[in-house]
Amino acid sequence: MDDTRLDAISKKMDTLVRKLDAIIRLAVMGMTEGKSQTERIWLFSVAGLQPKEIAEILNTTPNTVRVMLFNLRKSRDRRVRREAK
């Protein structure tokens, strides 16, 4: 394959990835409608979005998202340990 063809394929793949990313974001936004910010952050995270991306969607800071995710994981870990006893 020549470089021109590889570049064209690469551009098409980039476009496809961007479209899939937009679809995922829209789907998660629909699933999170009416939920608390904490629940929304968790669902966006589970969907694979990074704290920076989540912060942009929810109009907050990436640090706020990281702290909330840390607290959610910590709370989940405590609950799992309690249930294991």
Convert the pLDDT of each residue in 39-79 to its tens digit: 999 988 988 889 999 999 899 999 999 999 999 999 988 88
Q: Where are the beta strands (DSSP E) in 9-48?
A: none
User: CA angle 4-6-10, nearest 5°?
Assistant: 120
CB atoms within 10 A of CB 62: 14
| pLDDT at 50 (0 to 100) | 93
| pLDDT at 82 (0 to 100) | 82
Q: Which tens digits make up the pLDDT trace of 3-22? A: 888 888 899 999 999 888 88
Closest residue by Cα to residue 44 from 77, 55, 6: 55
Closest residue by Cα to residue 69 from 57, 49, 33: 49
Residue 36, φ and ψ in degrees, nearest 5: -70, 165
| pLDDT at 7 (0 to 100) | 87
